[in-house]
Amino acid sequence: MTSTPFPFTAVVGQDDLRLALLLNAVSPAVGGVLVRGEKGTAKSTAVRALSALLPPVAVVPGCRFSCSPGSPDPGCPDGPHEPGTATERPSRMVELPVGASEDRLVGALDIERALAEGVKAFEPGLLADAHRGILYVDEVNLLHDHLVDLLLDAAAMGASYVEREGVSVRHASKFLLVGTMNPEEGELRPQLLDRFGLTVEVAASREPDQRVEVVRRRLAHDDDPAGFAARWADEEADVRARIVAARELLPSVVLGDAALRQIAATCAAFEVDGMRADIVMARTATALAAWAGRTDVLAEDVRQAALLALPHRRRRNPFDAPGLDEDKLDETLDEFGDRGDDDPDPDPDPGPDGPGGGGGRPPEQGPEDGAGDAGAPPEDGPGEQPPPAPAAGGAGERSAVRAAEPFRTKVLSVPGLGEGTAGRRSRARTEHGRTTGARRPRGALTKLHLAATVQAAAPHQRERGRTGRGLVVRRDDLRQATREGREGNLVLFVVDASGSMAARQRMSAVKGAVLSLLLDAYQRRDKVGLVTFRGSAAEVALPPTSSVDAAAVRLESLPTGGRTPLAAGLLRAHEVLRVERLRDPARRALVVVVTDGRATGGVEPVAQAGRAARLFAAEGTASVVVDCESGPIRLGLTGQLAGELGGTTVTLDELRADSIAGLVKDVRETGSRRAA
């Protein structure tokens, strides 16, 4: 029994989200939507409700790849298709789970039949199901890199290719890509980010009346889904008819030279990379005009298109917040626009259809929807929470100082060979990478080692009665290729924020170094955590997460002062790693201790710090001590700490890419000596 989805028109507020989805329904060429926002803001609800508004799709009967009867794919695996009757089916929304396998996404070939019979037995995947429909990825920022690569290829070429040891299948795959994400859990890979045509920021309303209406409608739907949907049937039908009318009008919309100049000038003014932004803005402005029932593109269409298409294309690194300076946008539009005939009022009355591009808002839903704050960043959203209260005992506490400019570092890797989540830091056994050997498959075969399979089957051909050209292959002959690639690690920063680190210039350099390592962790798909210690205690400033920008914000606001409870910091870090191993046992850790090595406060602080450090060495945890000691007289305490940890030491200057050449070797050699 199919559950009744929540009606699209019953979603309260979230005007920008609904508008972006509807524009893609009008013109799929816009390129999809990325929805960013905190949890519990109706992101998934709105996306799932969209598919019910899309017109039905005409397909060739019996074709598993949804070929259009008017222009079937000549390379369709189920083809060639003869001219005949067409059938209609509802538009599909296909969900891609974050943990899906490659075969589930692109489809699977029966290698055993291909080798033995020469038959291309192909089971279609999600990319085939999504053709001419919606491909929805919840938590898209957590998608594994190899699946991201496949999505990028399909989105760029409009087709999916499946190849297994010389056996190849191709089919059309054109879909509307919709992703949702919570930035608290990490940012999206830049290549995939640019593939989304539009982006919207969503947040829960701070208006009590609107929140009441959200709860009222949610409870009504849960109590009687069918009855609730029936009450919104007329509004759903109106929007569905408006989408059809806008699609029919779209080819007649004229994008004039004035609007094109505004689009080009806006993209140049905001320094977006490449030309995709210009094209997306043009398509979005055209769709906005069609949605408003017009055949000409106005300045407000261009403005709304910029607000939807540019914010996610302006980020230069993960520490930059997405967004657009609207004052600068208006100045650019005024400078390059011709408002004499098109737009006499630079700030027109929104009118009955609401603001945002000439009637861009969906049909009115009642007075309770009028004060939506969709698109505004949360007041206390991801990466912007106030830092935790400082530890007690901070005598002589100083306010936080700004970090120095980050710089490029080389990789700090964990010794040995892991089996963790695919990434770009340390060596690991992975599904992708260079082939290093073969083994019997455990479960379904995913990567065939052809030479090993033939070698296993060859001695048995006579007893199996081989007579023809084909090789008689049985299940026991199949061999899985073992491969070596790179994994992502947990990089846990343990930062000394005591009074001995409090010199402003010195702490600024320390924060700059940690920010540089955070940027490197983002690029290498690591999880990060942050433990700080000062005064009389240590605290977890940020539990392990994929959101490096959240770590950067916590670090930036970190105050300093008080004694140096080094042992407390190490013990707290050890506890964080213990809990994280239970959650994700395959992910190996790299502990980066940032300190000058001093330990003060309590009974025998140096001895306690040594005992805490030896816990890491006993468990074989990879570690690096960043030596922050400065001045003409150096005590060499960080070297002693690194010895207790079983790790290595590096100075702040040595962290830079041009002077770190021997560091990776040192880390690996230290790990090898410890293993021996």
> Tokens 């000596």 appear where?
673
Burial class (CB in 10 A: 0-12, 13-18, 19+), 205: buried
Q: Which has the closest alpha carbon to 527: 553, 556, 547, 542?
A: 547
Q: Which has the closest alpha carbon to 184: 85, 318, 364?
A: 318
Q: In Å, how far are 3, 243, 451, 458, 461 from 454, measured between CA atoms?
A: 49, 56, 5, 6, 11
Residues 6+ apart with CB under 8 A from 619: none
How many residues does the structure list for the chain? 676
Burial class (CB in 10 A: 0-12, 13-18, 19+), 339: middle
State which amino acid sits at residue 331. Answer: E
- What's the helix, strand, coil split of the chain in %, to 5? 40, 15, 40
Task: Tell me the β-bridge partners of 202.
Answer: 37
SS3 649: strand
What the block records as the tokens of 442 is 């455990």
650 alpha carbon, distance to own chain's centre: 32
Measured between its terminal Cα atoms, the distance across the chain in Å is: 60
pLDDT at 378: 38
- CA dist 606 and 600 (Å) reads 7
Are the beta carbons of 307 and 332 closer than 8 angstroms? Answer: no
Q: To 10 degrees, what angle do helices 299-309 and 326-336 make?
A: 140
Q: Which has the closest alpha carbon to 546: 494, 595, 496, 587?
A: 587
SS3 107: strand
- CA dist 19 and 655 (Å) reads 47
Catalytic residue among 276, 339, 424, 674: 276
Torsion of CA 70, 76, 107, 440, to 10 degrees: 170
Are the beta carbons of 31 and 74 closer than 8 angstroms? Answer: no
- CA dist 506 and 247 (Å) reads 61
- CA dist 437 and 442 (Å) reads 15
pLDDT at 27: 92
What the block records as the tokens of 105 is 């996404």
What the block records as the tokens of 205 is 């309303």
Q: Which has the closest alpha carbon to 426: 538, 291, 501, 526?
A: 526
> Tokens 């049909």 appear where?
363
164 is catalytic: no
What the block records as the tokens of 274 is 């490449």
- CA dist 650 and 669 (Å) reads 14
Computed from CA positions of residues 286, 289, 295, 298, in that sequence, does the dihedral angle turn out positive or negative? negative
Give backbone dihedrals phi and psi of 549, rounded to 5 degrees, phi first: -70, -30
- CA dist 487 and 422 (Å) reads 4
Global pTM value: 0.69
Element (H, E) at 485: strand 480-487
300 alpha carbon, distance to own chain's centre: 31
Count Cβ atoms below 10 Å from residue 198 Cβ, excluding itself: 29
Q: Give every residue of the chain whose pLDDT is below 50, as ranges.
A: 1, 339-395, 660-666, 668
